[in-house]
Amino acid sequence: MEALVRALSRFIARDIFYAPGSLSVIFSFMVAMDVDPPSNLPTPHILFAVGIGYVLGYAIHDGFALTPFVNASLVVHPNWFLIALYERLARMKWQAPENFDAFGTYLRMYSDLSPEQTAPIERMISLNHIGTTMGANGIVSFALFGLGWYWGDSSAIKGVLCISSFVLSVLLLCLAYLQAMETHRALGQLRERFRKEDGKDAAEQASEADT
């Protein structure tokens, strides 16, 4: 039961950002179309809007994950630019195995490590999810602000919102990829640790069998 509660809390904590991410897209659409937001919405309407926002946020996030610009996986293949950014942020050289069972290592860590030991990796994954969710939705908001600015009244506020959305979205997507790289590196280190432990256990079992 405790493991189930932990798993549900992780999913809820991560997926909750689908709603505010997509609501920012809805807000951007209303600003671009010069639509005034409704006031004093009944509670059922608010819950319905949040539900629709969750689905929209999920669609935008995973839709962008199909492109080369958003990495929502535990496996990364960074280019020279992202490696340079990582080394600048982490103040260390990028060193991580390229091909290994990252997902299998991720699943195993829950049976072999305590919640305190898994917390740093969970935080990296959560930050990656926040960055990819808000960054992807920000790109959609940037497009909506841009269309409203170009075809609408061309007000200064729309121009500022358009540029700000683009800059913030690119920054969030870059930071999300760096968190994915850090997660990949940490799982690679865990894989080596598990391999050593498995080798030690196998040696002990062989020794016991010989005796």
Domain boundaries, the chain: 2-210
| Amino acid 97: pLDDT | 83
| Amino acid 185: pLDDT | 92
pLDDT digits 0-9 by tens, 166-175: 999 999 999 9
Query: Which residues, 6+ apart, have CB-to-CB distance to 136 below 8 Å?
Result: 21, 60, 61, 63, 64, 65, 70, 169, 173
CA neighbor of 184 nearest in space, from 106, 103, 104, 75: 75
Q: Distance between CA atoms of 14 and 21, rounded to whole angstroms? A: 12
Under-50 pLDDT residues of the chain: 1, 4
Q: Distance between CA atoms of 179 and 128, rounded to whole angstroms? A: 5
| Amino acid 35: pLDDT | 77
Total H helices, total E strands in the chain? 7, 0
CA neighbor of 109 nearest in space, from 39, 191, 6, 18: 191
- Put residue 164 in one of left, alpha, beta given phi > 0 → left and psi -120 to 50 → alpha: alpha
